[in-house]
Amino acid sequence: MHWFSRLFGGARRVVELPPAQRDALAHWQQLPATDLNAAHQRCRYVVVDVETSGLNMRTDRLISIGAVALVDGRIDFADAFQIILRQDQVSPDANILIHGIGGSAQSEGIDPATALLSFLGYIGKAPLVAYHAFFDRAMIEKAMRQYLGVELGQTWIDLAWVLPSLFPDLSDARTNLDDWLALFAIENILRHNAVSDAYATAKLLQVAIAAGNQRAVVSPAAFVRLEKARRWMSQHR
C-alpha cells in the first residue's frame, strides 16, 4: 500500500476520525478566509515554532508546536499556544537534550489528532509566520495529512526571506535566527523551547512590520509578495 500511494503521489490519505473530531475539522474548514490585504495593525498573525525528533523532514516526527499571536501589532500573552504530541516512540537522547522535552513528557503528550485540531482551533485562518518556515510548514503539514487527512493550505510567511529584503544593508551573512535576534537585541528566554522561540520570532516580526510600514509593505499579502520576489531574485541571480 505504501508503494502504491507513493506511486500516485499526492493521493489523499483517508483518515477515519471520530464524529466530534470530524465536526471540529469541518468547523475549521468553514471559517472565512482572512483578508490578507488588511493592514498589519488590524491583523492577527500566528508565529509558529516546532520541535521535532530531528531535521529530516521525511523521517522525523513532530513533537511539539509553540505559537504566539501578534494581534493588532502587539504580542498578546493570553493568545499563546503550546502542545506536545504524544509519541509512540521516544526521540533519541541527543535530540531530547536540544528541546528539553523528556521521554515521559513525550509519551504523556496529547493524542496527535486532538493536538492538531486544537492547534487549528487556535490559529483559525490567520497567516502563519516562522523563521525558515519551510521546515515548520513541512512538519506541520505532514502531521496534518497523517493524523487528520487534511491539507493545511494556510498562508505562510518566512522571515528568513522577508527580513533581508527589508534590511538589505544588514543581511550579509545573516542566515540564522540567532544572528537577527542579536542584531535587534532580542533576548530569547529559552532557546529551543517552541514557545520561547516563537516569542522571539514574534518580536522579530514586530521589527519587520515597523520596517515594512516605512516601505509600503503594509499587509500580510505585501509580505508574501516581498518573499516571492526575493526567492525569484535569488534563483535568477
Partner 1 sequence: MSNSATAMLVSATIEFLRAYPPFDRMEHEALQFLGEQVRLAYYPKGAQIVSPDAGAVELFRILQRGKVVVRHASEVSVIDQASLTLGPGECFSIGAVMAQRASTSCYTALDDVFCYEITAESFFALLQKSAVLNLFCTQYLASLLGQSRRQLQMQFSQHVAEQQTMNSPLSAVIKKAALSVTPRTPIRKVVELMAASSVGSMIIVDERQQPVGIFTQSDVLKRIVLTGVGLDDPIEQVMSKRPHTLPISANAYDAALAMAMHGVRHVLAVDDGGRLQGVVSERDLFTLQRVGLRQIRQTLDGATGIDMLLQASADVRQLSLNLLAQGVGAEQITQFISALNDALTRRIIALNLEHHDLYGIEWAWLSFGSEGRDEQTFSTDQDNGIIYICTDIMDREQTQLRLLEFARDVNDDLDQCGFPLCTGKIMASNPELCLTLEEWEEKFEHWVRTPEPQALLNATIFFDFRPLYGAFNLADRLRLSLLRRTRGNPLFLRMLAGNALCVAPPLGTFRDFVTDADAQHPGTIDLKKYGARLFIDAARVFAMAHDVAATNTVQRIKQSALLMAISADEAAAVIDGFNFIQLLRLRHQHAEQTQGRDGDNLIRPDELNEVERRILKESFRQARKLQQRLKLDYQL
Positions that interact with partner 1 (CB under 8 A): 66-68, 71, 73-78, 80-82, 184-187, 189-190, 193, 195-196, 199, 203, 206-207, 209-211, 214
Give the total residue count for the chain.
237
Least gap, CB of 7 to partner 1 (angstroms):
41
Question: Least CB distance from residue 210 to partner 1, whole Å?
Answer: 4
Beta bridge partners of 51: 64
**CB-wise, 154 or 196, nearer to partner 1?**
196
The answer to whether the beta carbons of residues 83 and 119 sit under 8 Å apart is yes
Nearer to partner 1, 150 or 219 (CB): 219
Q: Is the dihedral of CA 101, 106, 110, 113 positive or negative?
A: positive
Closest separation between CB of residue 148 and partner 1, Å? 21
Closer Cβ to partner 1, 73 or 149, answer by number? 73
- Please say which residue, 21 or 206, places its beta carbon nearer to partner 1: 206
**CB closer to partner 1, 117 vs 150:** 117
Main-chain phi, psi angles of 214, to 5 degrees:
-85, -10
Q: Least distance in Å: CB of 81 to partner 1?
A: 5
Q: State in angstroms the smallest separation of the CB of 51 from partner 1.
A: 13
Q: Residue 130: beta bridge partners?
A: 158
The DSSP symbol for 110 reads B
Q: Which helix (H) or strand (E) holds 227?
A: helix 220-235
Q: Say how far apart CA 237 and CA 235 lie, in whole Å.
A: 6
Q: What's the min distance (Å) between Cβ of 80 and partner 1?
A: 4
Nearest CB to partner 1, comparing residues 33 and 216 = 216
d(CA 62, CA 66): 11
Tell me if 86 sits within 8 A of 108, measured CB to CB.
Answer: yes
| Element of type H or E holding 3 | helix 2-7
